[in-house]
Structure 1
Amino acid sequence: MGTWDIGPFDNDTAADFSYRVDEAPDGERADVLLAAFREVTGTGDEYLDADLAMEAIASAALLAAQCPGGEPVTTSYGPKKPLGVLPGELRPPAVAALDRILAADSELLELWEESGADEWKAGVLRLREVLTGA
């Protein structure tokens, strides 16, 4: 995993995902985030690939940034173009994706558990808290 820190955009996959968000036409960037959430939740009981999880966490961070108590995404690895106001209907799929990432058969969770997941996991839970409290 090309990761340099625990933040939502502190890995190669999320940084690349930012470009996909930026390339989406205005008004369709929310659809890119929703697709990332659905890819994760659509895996059911199958083994969840780390790259899908990283994209969903980055998407959740972008959404949480617009919620009360959310932290702005200020990293240079995040999207450069404005997202516009994201619809509140994205919050339940985002929470479901985060729950799936923290469940069994999640490659990203396993990778972080091998290297000490406490701080990373706390960050994901903070995103979840912001999204459920909004």
Structure 2
Amino acid sequence: MTGWNRSVTLLCSAVIALALSGCNVARLTINTPLTPESVAFIAEGRTTLADVVDTLGAPDSITDTETGTIVTYRFLNAKYSRVNFGWLLKPWSPVDPDLVFSRSGLGTDAFELLCDDHWIVTHHAFVRHRPAPPFTPYPF
């Protein structure tokens, strides 16, 4: 029986190794991702745009409106995972089957500030331009 258990263990190890060889995991970050903690210093009605720029750096866009100015910081923190289960069939199949299970979180997030005519922040908020993924596969 020990020979049988050893064979089963080796076979399971080989299948797992083949499955993992078709796995890709990547992370992409553009600009510095902002969090509520990184913008906690902003006090509406007291913090100036100059204070924000000193702490966060230059914004991506500044737009004039009738009620003041909108300042936008854009950032991206994307995760991508992919498993190609077709990789297991490659040794026995004349075609290259692509049975892909993947998830991506592509799309930009933004942090926006509304400043009055004296460049004082009156409102600030995070703006999500991508929906939350319906599931979170391992390792994300």
TM range (shorter): under 0.3
**Scaled by the length of structure 1, what TM-score is found?**
0.22
Instruction: Specify which structure has the higher proportion of strand.
Output: 2
Instruction: Specify which structure has the higher proportion of helix.
Output: 1
Quick one: higher RCO (CA 8 Å, sep 6+), 1 or 2? 1
**Scaled by the length of structure 2, what TM-score is found?**
0.22
**If you compute each CA radius of gyration, which structure gives the higher value, 1 or 2?**
2
